[in-house]
Structure 1
Amino acid sequence: MSAHPVKLGGIHHAAYRCKDAAETVEWYGRVLGMDYTTAFAEDHVPSTGEFDPYMHVFLEAGNGNVLAFFELPGQPAMGRDEATPAWVQHLAFRVPDMAALLAAKAHIEAQGIDVLGPTHHGIFQSIYFFDPNGHRIELACDIGTAEQYAELKRVAAPMLDEWSRTKRAPRHAAWLHEGAQAPNE
């Protein structure tokens, strides 16, 4: 088997739209402790040359991961894909453990932000809330065992195959929501 010609080294940054760059930078710093590191502002889009003034801000999300936002004052008001449920599109950040997840929840709620969860997903637990731009944010801590992650990898292909045929939830990993014990444990 030949090596793939594309050599990825991780995600450089993920970029989303924001309503107000300064408000977004302040919120992510105050609520999630993210450091504001870089900004670019242009009147013309470098890749297309079109006139569309923007402010592009970058925030450090830990371990070299960067979250970026564009404020686009010349574009129509920001919205969301109304055909997609609000819970689907989201940004998920890792926290080290359950204690950190619960501390984050308390901190975020103290900021006056509604938080859903913790929600148990078998191999991780999560909390959910929205940023001032309407983006759903998830904080998650891994709680699974090496054996559970190995089992999920083993059943990934059969699950996708069954889903593609039936468009119904396959039961290959039903144990995730039934006490989170992987088969044969």
Structure 2
Amino acid sequence: MSQHPTGVHHLAFMATDIKKHIAFFSEVMGCPLVAIFDMHGVPGALHAFLKMNDHSYFSIVQTPAVADAPIVVGHTHAGTGGGASAAGTLQHLAFGVDSEADLIAMRDRIRSHGVNVIGPIDHGMCKSIYFAGPDQMTLEVATSDAPVDPDLWIDPAVLEKAGISEAEAARFRAPADYAGPSPVPQPPYDPAKPHMTYPKEVYLKMLAIPDEAMTAGASYAEPPVKAKTPA
């Protein structure tokens, strides 16, 4: 049983025009569309999934309110791989490929659709190409020959800049396993902890619902299209 994330199941991005995003990530990036449906529990929202592999997907969300949220480079979006954006926002997204030959193939595929691509650039731990996606997304494709070696890539000088002590760095390099118990009850609401931004009274009611009741009442397990029965 894994005690840490083993990958990214899906990344979800907002779109003013979901079709434009689907076309880009399907035709330009080569990711097949595998799902599009009304977003579960969100009236008026559309949700699409494009496949990177059988365990990793790219997700697009379109809601009625997204057109009213302006894109501001330097605040909502970084605009470049080294640009700034607000804390908690995604600075850029790097897709992965298996080899340098695959990286060059991706560069050529993207350029063939008229999209400018910079690179490859060798970062030592990976080689990367950089380009933009719809709605000012900052995108990268990267490949690595071997896993990142922390002995070579954790810089003591930068740990100091980040305010991380040697003892903290040792803990961060080897997170302790969780030995139980399970299940763990919902902890009391603590405003010092991270929280989703539902209205507080709604959120507190949600936290009070037993896990089993939340699973039973808020799940959408059936696909929107019924499976065809064999003839």
When normalised by structure 2's length, the TM-score is 0.57
Select the residue among 26, 31, 41 that pairs with 2:23. 26
1:85 aligns with 2:83: no
Deviation at 1:68, TM superposition (A): 0.6
Rg larger for:
2
| Structure 2: distance between partners of 1:140 and 1:110 | 19
Deviations, residues 67-88 of structure 1 (Å, cap 9, x unaligned): 1111123330451452363224
The size of the alignment, in residue pairs, is: 153
Match of 2:135 among 115, 133, 136: 133
Determine helix, strand or coil for the equivalent of 1:33: coil
The residue type paired with residue 101 of structure 1 is L
- Corresponding residue for residue 109 of structure 2: 107
Following TM superposition, by how much is the alpha carbon of 1:165 offset from its aligned partner in structure 2, in angstroms?
A: 4.2
Contact 2:29 2:109 in 1 (8 A): no
Structure 1 104/42 Cα, relative in aligned 2: closer, same or farther at 3 Å?
Answer: closer
Preserved CA contact (<8 Å) 1:44 1:53: no
The Cα of 1:40 is off from its aligned counterpart by 2.6
Structure 2: which 5+ runs fail to align? 82-90, 165-231
Q: 1:85 to 1:25 in 2, by over 3 A?
A: closer
% identical aligned pairs: 26
| Whole-Å separation in 1 of the counterparts to 2:101 and 2:4 | 36
Q: Do the aligned residues in 2 keep the contact of 1:39 with 1:56 (CA within 8 Å)?
A: yes
Q: Which runs of 5+ in 1 are unaligned?
A: 46-51, 167-185
Q: 2:60 aligns with which of 56, 61, 69?
A: 69
Q: Which residue identity does 1:55 align to in structure 2?
A: L
TM-score (norm 1): 0.69
Deviation at 1:152, TM superposition (A): 3.3
The equivalent of 1:59 in structure 2 is 50
- Decide which structure has greater strand share: 1
How far residue 161 of structure 1 moved from its aligned partner, in angstroms, is 2.9
Counterpart amino acid of 1:17?
Answer: M
Question: 1:13: Cα distance to partner?
Answer: 1.5
Which residue number corresponds to residue 161 of structure 2? 163
Decide whether aligned partners of structure 1 residues 66 and 78 sit closer, same or farther in structure 2, where only a CA change above 3 A counts.
farther
CA deviation map 1:110-163 (0-9, x unaligned): 11001011111012110011112221111111135x6x625236x36x355312
| Kept in 1: contact 2:78–2:138 (CA 8 A) | no
Going from structure 1 to structure 2, the CA distance change for 1:59 and 1:120 (only over 3 Å counts) comes to same
Is 1:41 matched with 2:38? Answer: yes
What amino acid is the match of 2:149? Y
Task: Kindly report the root-mean-square deviation, in angstroms, between the aligned alpha carbons of the 2 structures.
Answer: 2.9
| Structure of greater relative contact order (alpha carbons < 8 Å, 6+ residues apart) | 1
CA contact (8 A) 1:15 1:68 kept: yes
